Amino acid sequence: MRDGTAIWGTLALCVLVVLSLFVGVIDLTPADLFTDPEAFGLLFTSRFPRTAATLITGASLAISGAIMQLMVRNRFVEPMTVGTGQGAALGILFCLLVLPTAPLIVQMGVAALTALLSSFVFLTIVRQLPPQQPLLVPLVGLIYGGILTAALVFFAYQADLLQYIEIWMTGEFSGVLAGRYELLWIAAIVALATYFIADQFAIVGLGRTISINLGLRYEQIVLLGLAAISIVVALTVVTVGTIPFIGLVVPNIISRLKGDNLRQTLPLIALFGAGMVLACDILGRLIRYPFEIPVGTVFGVLGTLIFLRLLYVEPNRGR
């Protein structure tokens, strides 16, 4: 980028990665890598997997949010606040109740299917709303997500599984170790694949009628977008839990800085998403050191403030 946004963002992300590798309950310095034989074990068993999981989660959720906003044609939505994340959690709960011995890949598949179904229902509801009132979309999404959360809590309470709900609904990376996060690489691959059809998602954002008139296979592209979002959200919920507002905040920030050309902005969305989640994770480790605050809580507070600001600024733009 001519103004150096990508360069400065990459440099900042590199600094955050280094901090993430050496900040934690167990003190670790670069010198320990040469003097302490256990330092490498800690680095590659815990710190590197945690950092990688954080980067993948932030980037893929930010990309998913950008795609969902184009399909819904509204800047105030993202998968974790409109029922997709809650649908994935319902899928995991279903596996625990009906298929308790199912392998993790089966749980991920069921969670992806329920996330896809919940996203499709939300998209169907949104199409019935008047386009003249854009704030109705996020409000309906929050209500819809709340209903799914209530259903999740009800069934979990009946099965005495409320303790698991806290794990799924509060994203955190303290439990990420080598061998427990590798499924997230699938989310990274799916998010990367969306770049190659980014132009088609941008056309979808123009609306169904215009997209079809331009020769786009509208329904197929929407289905591909929903599938990509569902896979990313399901893998995230299964591995680290729900982290809200990433897909809402980051695309809006990049849109205001760089415009709406998705093919050009998608790398920046991934970069800023990864950086913001990693920064919040590091902050969560330091606020009450040596204890940790879940990144979902840290980013939830930050995201709520930015979300309210967006709700205030957008209706008043141009007055």
pLDDT for the residue 208: 86
pLDDT for the residue 190: 94
Determine the angle formed by the axes of helices 48-72 and 5-22, rounding to 10 degrees. 140
Whether 250 and 68 have beta carbons less than 8 Å apart is answered as no
**pLDDT interval class at 41 (50, 70, 90):** confident
What's the token pair of residue 176?
A: 């990420």
pLDDT for the residue 313: 64
Quickly list DSSP for 143-160: HHHHHHHHHHHHHHHHTT
**pLDDT interval class at 279 (50, 70, 90):** very high
Whether 215 and 267 have beta carbons less than 8 Å apart is answered as no
**pLDDT interval class at 186 (50, 70, 90):** very high
Residue 315, pLDDT > 70, answer no
pLDDT for the residue 2: 52
User: What's the rounded mean pLDDT across residues 270-279?
Assistant: 94
**CATH architecture type of domain 5-316:** Orthogonal Bundle (1.10)
Whether 67 and 225 have beta carbons less than 8 Å apart is answered as yes
Cis peptide, bond prior to residue 134, ω within 30 of zero = no
Query: Which phi and psi (to 5°) does residue 63 adopt?
Result: -65, -40
User: What's the rounded mean pLDDT across residues 294-304?
Assistant: 87
| pLDDT > 70 in the chain, percent | 96
What's the token pair of residue 20?
A: 């993430």
User: What's the rounded mean pLDDT across residues 191-216?
Assistant: 90
pLDDT tens-place string over residues 119-133: 999 988 988 888 777
pLDDT tens-place string over residues 119-171: 999 988 988 888 777 778 888 988 999 999 999 999 988 888 887 777 777 88
Residues recorded for the chain: 319
What are the angstrom distances between the C-alpha of 173 and each of 49, 53, 114, 168, 268?
9, 8, 24, 12, 23
Q: Residue 195, exposed/middle/buried by CB under 10 A (0-12, 13-18, 19+)?
A: middle
Determine the angle formed by the axes of helices 48-72 and 184-195, rounding to 10 degrees. 40
Residue 319, pLDDT > 70, answer no
pTM over 0.85: yes
pLDDT for the residue 126: 86
For residues 288, 81, 142, 86, the Cα torsion angle rounded to the nearest 10 degrees is -100
Residue 287, pLDDT > 80, answer yes
Whether 28 and 46 have beta carbons less than 8 Å apart is answered as no
**Alpha-carbon span 2 to 142, nearest angstrom:** 38
**pLDDT interval class at 189 (50, 70, 90):** very high
pLDDT for the residue 314: 56
User: What's the rounded mean pLDDT across residues 34-48?
Assistant: 81
**pLDDT interval class at 245 (50, 70, 90):** confident
**Alpha-carbon span 77 to 72, nearest angstrom:** 8
Residue 113, pLDDT > 60, answer yes
Residue whose structure tokens are 């930010």: 62
Closest CA to 242 of 299, 171, 141: 171
pLDDT tens-place string over residues 48-92: 999 999 999 999 999 999 999 998 888 888 898 888 989 998 988
Phi/psi region, residue 318 (left: phi>0; alpha: psi -120 to 50; beta: rest), is left
Q: What is the mean pLDDT of the chain?
A: 86
Residue extents of the structural domains in the chain: 5-316
